[in-house]
């Protein structure tokens, strides 16, 4: 659900600036973790695609006034890269983020956040498959270990689940969502550097809202509407402001200062924050399979993101 900004330049600065960047990264991790908890909390209160449509539509409207001048000046770049941007708006806001709310109807917030920590490994694999980026032997070993960690979590440590392909539907969907986010992380490198970051975020959000629209209309037409409840109101307000705008801006600004390698390890805060709120508020629990799977993912990501 995040754009890690892998190609962002590292900016030198005073320690205070670095401290602010670390604080922004922690805050972004908190929001991304809460997003899973809120998405799970909203089940039965707000339909999944209504939640996604609200997130990206309101997000677009919030950013648009600040990006309007850039969008006007960069119309040519937008037109020349329309297909690429449209595809990016499909794989990240819709597949990577919007469908996650569907998955949370069937699985836990803790599982969702843990599965996403394997994202860097999928980016390495897709970079090799799509861009021809060379992968070292140790990176390949790391990828295998991290993927094993993901399957250990979704199987709850039971080999029979894997052999019988008896996965939890939500966990299986989340793997597809993660592939969408990883695809975005690869193809976004092809976007021209001349496109202002605010313009890019606005365009991606707008395409995300557009892809959600038919599903949102379908939910309304079939009587699936948000309930007049505190959970519904808080969920809609939260997703409209925080994960789609505040967290991404904090994440990208922090990466510009810290660099992707230093910033990447903050991703492991996401499941920690998700668990911290999901356990008391949703009644979820952490099992031994969560801990073992997480250890494998952390080890695998560490190895697979090492430079040759």
Identify whether 206 is part of a domain. yes
Say what the pLDDT of residue 264 is: 66
Residue-range definition of the domain harbouring residue 215:
15-304
Across 3-12, 49-58, 84-93, 283-292, least confident range: 3-12
Q: Is the dihedral of CA 187, 123, 62, 40 positive or negative?
A: positive
pLDDT of residue 263: 66
Among candidate residues 180, 163, 157, 100, the one with its CA nearest the CA of residue 295: 157
Highest mean pLDDT pick, 25-34, 113-122, 207-216: 207-216
**Helices and strands of the chain, counted as H and E runs:** 16, 0
Q: Which of these ranges, 131-140, 174-183, 217-226, has the smallest mean pLDDT?
A: 131-140
Return the higher-pLDDT residue of 59 and 304.
59
d(CA 224, CA 246): 28
Rounded Cα distance, 15 and 22, in Å: 10
Evaluate if residue 233 carries a pLDDT over 50. yes
pTM of the model: 0.87
Q: Does the pLDDT at position 8 exceed 70?
A: no
Is 58 inside a domain boundary?
yes
- Cα 173 to Cα 106: distance, rounded to the nearest angstrom: 9
Which residue has 């962002």 as its token pair? 8
Is 279 inside a domain boundary? yes
Any domain includes 165: yes
Q: What is the model's pLDDT at position 307?
A: 61
Residue 226 predicted with pLDDT over 70? yes
User: Is residue 20 domain-resident?
Assistant: yes
What's the confidence (pLDDT) of residue 258? 74
Stretch 14-23: mean pLDDT: 70
Cα torsion 230, 231, 235, 238 to 10°: value is: 50
Q: Is position 3 within any domain?
A: no
Domain count, the chain: 1
List Cβ neighbours of 304 (8 Å cut-off, separation of 6 or more): 120, 121, 124, 138, 139, 140, 141, 142, 143, 146
Residue with the bigger pLDDT between 222 and 135: it is 222
Q: Is residue 6 part of a domain?
A: no
Q: Is residue 10 part of a domain?
A: no
Asked if 304 and 163 touch (Cβ cutoff 8 Å), the reply is no
| Predicted local distance difference test score (pLDDT) of residue 257 | 81
């Amino acid at each position: 659900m995040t754009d890690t900004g892998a190609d962002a330049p590292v900016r030198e600065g005073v320690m205070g600036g670095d401290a602010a960047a670390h604080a922004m990264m922690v805050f972004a991790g908190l929001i991304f973790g809460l997003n899973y908890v809120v998405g799970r909390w909203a089940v039965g209160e707000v339909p999944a695609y209504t939640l996604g449509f609200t997130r990206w539509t309101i997000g677009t409207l919030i950013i648009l006034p600040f990006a309007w001048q850039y969008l006007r000046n960069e119309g040519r770049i937008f037109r020349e890269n329309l297909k690429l941007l449209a595809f990016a708006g499909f794989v990240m806001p819709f597949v990577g983020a919007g469908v996650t709310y569907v998955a949370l109807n069937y699985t836990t917030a803790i599982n969702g956040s843990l599965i996403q920590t394997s994202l860097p490994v999928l980016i390495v694999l897709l970079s090799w498959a799509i861009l021809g980026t060379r992968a070292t032997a140790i990176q390949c070993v790391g990828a295998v270990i991290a993927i094993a960690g993901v399957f250990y979590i979704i199987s709850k440590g039971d080999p029979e689940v894997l052999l019988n392909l008896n996965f939890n539907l939500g966990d299986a969907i989340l793997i597809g969502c993660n592939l969408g986010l990883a695809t975005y992380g690869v193809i976004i490198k092809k976007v021209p550097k001349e496109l202002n970051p605010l313009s890019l975020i606005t365009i991606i959000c707008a395409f995300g809202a557009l892809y959600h629209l038919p599903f949102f209309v379908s939910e309304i037409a079939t009587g699936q509407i948000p309930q007049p409840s505190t959970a519904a109101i808080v969920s809609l307000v939260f997703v409209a402001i925080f994960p789609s705008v505040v967290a991404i801006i904090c994440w990208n600004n922090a990466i510009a200062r810290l660099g992707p390698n230093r910033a990447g390890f903050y991703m492991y805060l996401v499941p920690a924050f998700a668990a911290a709120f999901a356990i008391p508020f949703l009644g979820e629990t952490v099992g031994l399979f969560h801990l073992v799977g997480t250890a494998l993912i952390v080890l695998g990501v560490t190895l697979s993101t090492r430079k040759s």
